[in-house]
Amino acid sequence: MRIFLAGATGRTGRQILQQARPRGHQITALVRGGADRLEPAESWLRILKGDLLDHPNLAEIVAHHDAIITALSSSVIEAATLKLIDAAQTAKVPRFLGLAGGGILQLDAHSLRRDRPGYPASFRTSSEGHLRAWKALEASTLDWTLVCTPDLLDTPATGRATALADFMPQGGKSVPRADVAAFMMTELDQPRFSRKRVGLTV
């Protein structure tokens, strides 16, 4: 499968690359900097240098890919997701998988986790971009899945991550980045959560 990856140089993005290679996927990574953190480009990995937020030909770059995957920071998630939605719809890329924070999952039928009393103010502020990215995906025509996580760990994959549509699985407070990457690869190959937020934890 041909995948366009945004956020490839980050810690989760590098895990996605590691998981994608043995599955035979072809990756295009657009990076602004930090390309030295990636493996030397081989036939399965194409590295392009540029700024996702200010690229004049983004639709042309994502064209002919089967999916877009994002692992973006809170500071750019809203703007980057909006740009990628527009490019994906123009280029008719069929699938979009993104990473977001668990605060935008449901607390109950009527409210989000970020709205509950005692939710840290700093997390609520940083989740604003995640919330707007989700709403933009909902308003799009894309077949999307937004993987929403608690604390991300730089530990080996457990193989025991639990996924639940729209809600955070009970009791989980963290998940290894490697488990997130593995879930994304499986969801890409065998979709179960079309146009859904997914809580993922161990």
What does the pLDDT look like over 83-111, one tens digit per residue? 999 999 999 999 999 999 999 999 999 99
Cβ atoms of 11 and 177 within 8 Å: the answer is yes
- Please tell me whether residue 200 adopts helix, strand or coil conformation: strand
Residues 34-85 pLDDT 10s: 666 676 667 899 999 999 999 999 999 999 999 999 999 999 999 999 999 9
Distance CA 180, CA 100 (A): 11
Task: Please give the class, per CATH, of domain 2-201.
Answer: alpha beta
Mean pLDDT of the chain: 94
Using the structure block, give the residue that is written with the tokens 């290679």: 21
What pLDDT, in 10s, does the model give residues 136-159? 999 999 999 999 999 999 999 999
Tokens for 141, please give them: 């025509």
Measure CA of the first residue to CA of the last residue in the chain; give whole Å: 28
